[in-house]
Amino acid sequence: MLSSIFGPLIRGYTLRLGKVLYRTGISPNAVTVTGLFLNALVALVLAGGYYTTGGICVWLAGSFDMLDGAIARAGNKVTRFGSFLDSTLDRYSEAVLLLGLLWHFLQTGNDTAAMLTYITFVGSIMISYTRARSEALGVRNETGLFARTERVVILGALLIIRQPVLALWILAIGTNLTAAQRVYHVYRAPGSS
């Protein structure tokens, strides 16, 4: 939902920044790999329980994740491998962030938050899986409220105000609801049932 509202505006800014970065000679794939590294550092911050700093870093690393595609488009270097690498490492980035939170909650004995983190992880992975699988069947599928942008915005915002458990409740429900919406979208697609 946020993606469809703010997506064109954000893409405009990132494309301009992508043009600037392209002139430096940095490759889109190098930016993709660097984004994963940054998210791993953010996970360490979250594992330490530094919610506010972690929330800001979630946003910074999340915005960095958008630059690889902008650089590729600016230099007309969009490739199938680059797109595949970006999608794959985005999943790892999200997983490592949630691992940081999971580690923190296990260390502090917050079993409810640890379980919510796991449920959020499953929902996030299923959002990507249902999209990839449906598109392999020829059904375009970006249905649902909790795409990656929404997840990054919600997690970062609620960490900043030190409400990680509320963030996880919202994400645990929202991610799995979005995956279910995508399943239903394929079910309703012409020729699917």
Q: Domains of the chain by range and CATH?
A: 2-188 (1.20.120.1760)
Give the side-chain half-sphere CA count within 13 A for 91: 14
Higher pLDDT, 129 or 11: 129
Contacts of 25 by beta carbon, 8 Å cutoff, 6+ apart = none
- Confidence category of residue 7, pLDDT binned at 50, 70, 90: low
Report, as residue numbers or ranges, the catalytic residues: 90
The rounded percent of the chain whose pLDDT value lies above 90 is: 69
- Quote the CA–CA distance of 187 and 52 in Å, as a whole number: 41
Asked if 156 and 55 touch (Cβ cutoff 8 Å), the reply is yes
| pLDDT tens track for 132-172 | 999 999 999 999 999 888 999 999 999 999 999 999 999 99
The first and second tokens of residue 94, run together, are: 């999200």
